[in-house]
């Protein structure tokens, strides 16, 4: 009976139906006094004759309340339910009489006669269904409940509109309705979770002396289900039961936040805390994060490097068998992974020329410029001939005698000597019936001589004795065996910029091929710092084989154990197709509208509106969403220990350089730019 009475009171606000009234009246027992029975008869007649109209007082009509019209940016008027003020001592309405009648039936007491009293207007309070409310939903008894709660007035399947009242300005920010915070909508046995992305006043004004109605817009993220006899409380993505108009919405409970975010288990790791509640840890699912690729995006100075270091350390702790290859364009990662990584610089880097495919070798040969078609096509025939010379261990064999004796192609990973390639070219130049143009062959020979003698490319031609050392070379790059250091850092600051794209193409292609051939025994995470340099959005820029190698990992890598981490401060310049393959995104502050737009296109529709406030979040703060997280969250990354910070090891000084310091600077400068 208590439930029916509570729902009947809600009828006066326009949220509940009138059916409980009839059911409550029909249950009146015959031993109730005649005065009560007469009143019930009057109520039944009024309810049956005017079921859709607001009930009028028994003795005198009350002035109708007018529902305010709420202007919204969608150019639609949303009418809030009207609540008429209650005048003490005034005649009761049908619904109030029904509530009184229900209470009397429950207690068995007759209805007392109304006592005249001075009229006093009291502010209406929203009605709460106590059958659904929980201790965590309730606020201080002295605080108006309508400041903690609101009501659903619109829902389109993915988003919800809530009408509520703004809190008075307080120092406790956790009590405010605010963008980026989670709210919940009570559905009885579950609570729908939404993420606030927009707040606005109903009339575009603010009244310091009165209540301020506001409209809150949120995107639906999932549901928290109450515990049962066989299962604990759990959060699930997606919505199984959409909210109805009038459903109660409120700021999310602390316990529900813990259910959503404080996941435990072998593959879960903490990377910070929620911005909404700093007592709750922000956890990631490491297995989901790496297996479906992820991206870390943020403007310079937003804390991107710190976030990257923290996430990679957490991955390493949870997946010690995973090999991590970091393409480091600024030589800054070694400092943050000194104990767990092996650094490869220009002096120790070795990637033989014969591991390059034809297009990759041509990119190096022409120094990043468009290749001369005739020379590239000549290489397509000449390189296989050089490979035959190596395999037969002979010298002076002409092209005419060797081209038909081998199945090797220009792309086959078969060793060959550059001296053999030059010898084959000279043979072709001396042939009277050569099918190749002599000027083309002479130009090609000069290019190869120049490349071989350039000290910046010694990583390709460092070994005088050409052998099939693929096992040693690849084992060093991909840390096989790891020897306690599963991270490999390739420092590329000193590598010629015109060939970096070709080098990245070779590394990514080899990573994919090795994991595919390992039958699941080898897993590699490739970290592409400043990825917009290798996979630009403009198809006319960059090196096509590099784009193809990275795209292959993004699309097919998870099948074989090759994973991708994209890092960039200019996501607007990234290939949108490759970025969209990253199922988890950590978006730090992005002030550029183009950068925000490319992120908006790459994420799911249920989180698109959260991008709108990326330009104003703080340092080391991020909006994270995707498969590696329970639900989109606004988080603040944890502080890093000093040994995890990225950067360069610099001695503290006052900025003055001695002669010895200047000599060291000049030596390094000449070394980098030596031809």
Nearest to 8, CA basis, from 76, 55, 42, 45: 55
Regarding predicted confidence, which is higher, 404 or 385?
Answer: 385
What would the mean pLDDT of 552-571 be, rounded to a whole number? 94
Q: Is the dihedral of CA 77, 79, 80, 84 positive or negative?
A: positive
The CA–CA distances, whole Å, from 456 to 308, 491, 534 equal 30, 14, 20
Q: Is the pLDDT of residue 154 over 90?
A: yes
Mean pLDDT of 6-32: 41
Q: In this structure, what are the phi and psi dihedrals at residue 297, rounded to the nearest 5 degrees? A: -125, 140
Interatomic CA distance for residues 334 and 346, integer angstroms: 14
> Could you give the count of Cα atoms lying within 13 Å of 306 in the half-sphere of its Cβ?
19
Say yes or no to pLDDT of 233 above 60.
Answer: yes
Q: Which tens digit of pLDDT belongs to each residue from 266-319?
A: 688 999 998 878 888 899 999 999 999 999 999 888 899 999 999 999 999 999
pLDDT digits (tens, 9 = 90+) for 567-596: 999 988 888 889 889 999 999 998 888 888
In this predicted structure, the answer to whether residue 32 has a pLDDT above a threshold of 70 is no
Query: What pLDDT sits at residue 604?
Result: 60
**pLDDT, position 309:** 96
Mean pLDDT of the chain: 76
Each residue's pLDDT tens digit, 342-393: 999 888 888 888 999 999 999 889 887 888 999 999 999 999 999 988 877 6
Which of 163-172, 287-296, 510-519, 551-560 shows the lowest mean pLDDT across its residues?
Answer: 163-172
What's the confidence (pLDDT) of residue 57? 45
Q: 411 with 513: CB under 8 angstroms?
A: no
In percent, how much of the chain has pLDDT > 90?
A: 32
Q: Lowest mean pLDDT: which of 229-238, 318-327, 548-557?
A: 229-238
Q: What distance, in Å, lies between the first and last C-alpha atoms of the chain?
A: 92
The pTM assigned to this predicted structure is: 0.71
Of 406 and 231, more confident: 231
Whether the predicted pLDDT of 182 surpasses 90: no
CB 325 within 8 A of CB 507: yes
The CB density around residue 653, as the number of other CB atoms within 10 Å, is: 9
Are 578 and 554 a contacting pair, CB within 8 Å? yes
pLDDT (0 to 100) of residue 376: 92
Q: What is the pLDDT of residue 555?
A: 93
Residue 328 · residue 471 · CB < 8 Å: no
pLDDT of residue 548: 92
- pLDDT of residue 435 exceeding 50: yes
pLDDT confidence of residue 515:
95
The answer to whether 378 and 491 are in contact (CB under 8 A) is no
The DSSP secondary structure of 187-203, one letter per residue, reads: -SSEEEEEEEEEEEESS
Residue with tokens 């010895």: 660
Mean pLDDT computed over 618-646: 89
Domains and CATH numbers, the chain: 2-69+92-122 (no CATH), 135-261 (2.40.30), 281-352+469-660 (3.40.50.300), 370-452 (no CATH)
Half-sphere exposure of 204 (CA within 13 A, CB side): 3
Beta bridge partners of 327: 490, 528
pLDDT band at 265 (very low <50, low <70, confident <90, very high): low
Mean pLDDT, range 157-175, rounded to an integer: 75
């Amino acid at each position: 009976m208590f439930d029916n009475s509570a729902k009947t009171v809600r009828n006066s606000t326009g949220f509940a139906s009138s059916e409980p009234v009839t059911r409550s009246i029909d249950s009146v027992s015959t031993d109730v006094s005649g005065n009560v029975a007469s009143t019930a008869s009057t109520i039944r007649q009024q309810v049956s004759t005017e079921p859709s109209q607001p009930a009028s007082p028994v003795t005198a009509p009350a002035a109708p309340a007018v529902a305010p019209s709420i202007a919204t940016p969608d150019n639609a008027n949303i009418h809030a339910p009207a609540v008429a003020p209650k005048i003490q001592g005034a005649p009761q309405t049908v619904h109030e009489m029904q509530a009184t009648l229900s209470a009397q039936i429950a207690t068995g007491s007759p209805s007392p006669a109304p006592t005249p009293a001075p009229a006093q207007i009291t502010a209406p309070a929203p009605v709460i269904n106590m059958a659904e409310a929980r201790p965590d939903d309730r606020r201080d008894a002295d605080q108006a409940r309508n400041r903690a709660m609101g009501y659903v007035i619109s829902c389109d399947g993915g988003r919800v509109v809530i009408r509520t009242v703004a809190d008075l300005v307080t120092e406790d920010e956790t009590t405010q309705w605010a963008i980026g915070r989670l709210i919940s909508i009570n559905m009885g046995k579950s609570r729908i979770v939404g993420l606030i992305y927009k707040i606005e006043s109903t009339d575009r004004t603010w009244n310091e002396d009165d209540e301020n109605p506001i409209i809150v817009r949120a995107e639906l993220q999932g549901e928290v289900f109450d515990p049962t006899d066989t299962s604990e409380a759990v959060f699930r993505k997606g919505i199984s039961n959409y909210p109805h108009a009038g459903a109660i919405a409120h700021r999310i409970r602390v316990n529900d936040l813990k259910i959503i975010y404080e996941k435990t288990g072998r593959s879960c790791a903490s990377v910070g805390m929620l911005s909404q509640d700093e007592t709750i840890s922000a956890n990631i699912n490491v297995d989901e994060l790496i297996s479906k690729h992820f991206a870390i995006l943020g403007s310079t100075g937003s804390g991107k490097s710190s976030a990257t270091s923290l996430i990679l350390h957490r991955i390493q702790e949870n997946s010690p068998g995973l090999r991590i290859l970091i393409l480091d364009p600024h030589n800054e990662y070694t400092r943050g992974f000194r104990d767990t990584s092996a650094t490869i610089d220009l002096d120790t880097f070795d990637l033989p020329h014969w591991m390059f495919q034809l297009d990759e070798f041509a990119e190096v040969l022409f120094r990043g410029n468009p290749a001369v078609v005739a020379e590239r096509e000549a290489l397509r025939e000449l390189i296989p001939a050089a490979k035959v010379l190596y395999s037969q261990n002979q010298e002076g064999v002409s092209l005419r005698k060797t081209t038909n004796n081998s199945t090797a192609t220009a792309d086959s990973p078969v060793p060959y000597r550059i001296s053999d390639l030059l010898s084959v070219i000279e043979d072709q130049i001396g042939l009277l019936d050569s099918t190749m143009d002599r000027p083309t062959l002479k130009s090609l020979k000069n290019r190869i001589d120049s490349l071989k003698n350039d000290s910046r490319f010694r990583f390709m031609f460092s070994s005088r004795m050409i052998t099939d050392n693929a096992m040693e070379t690849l084992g060093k790059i991909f840390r096989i065996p790891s020897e306690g250091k599963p991270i490999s850092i390739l420092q590329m600051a000193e590598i010629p910029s015109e060939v970096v794209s070709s080098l990245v193409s070779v590394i990514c292609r080899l990573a994919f091929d090795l994991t595919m051939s390992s039958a699941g025994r080898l897993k590699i995470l490739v970290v592409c710092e400043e990825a917009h340099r290798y996979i630009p959005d403009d198809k006319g820029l960059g090196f096509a084989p590099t784009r193809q190698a990275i795209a292959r990992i993004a699309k097919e890598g998870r099948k074989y154990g090759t994973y991708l981490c994209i890092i960039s401060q200019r996501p607007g310049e990234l290939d949108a197709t490759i970025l969209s393959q990253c199922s988890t995104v950590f978006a730090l502050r992005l002030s550029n509208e183009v950068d925000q737009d490319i992120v908006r296109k790459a994420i799911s529709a249920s989180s698109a509106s959260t991008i709108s406030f990326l330009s104003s979040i703080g340092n080391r703060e991020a909006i994270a969403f995707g498969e590696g997280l329970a639900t989109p969250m606004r988080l603040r990354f944890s502080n890093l220990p000093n040994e995890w910070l990225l950067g360069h090891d610099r001695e503290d000084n006052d900025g003055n350089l001695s002669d010895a310091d200047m000599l060291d600077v000049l030596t390094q400068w000449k070394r980098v730019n030596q031809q």
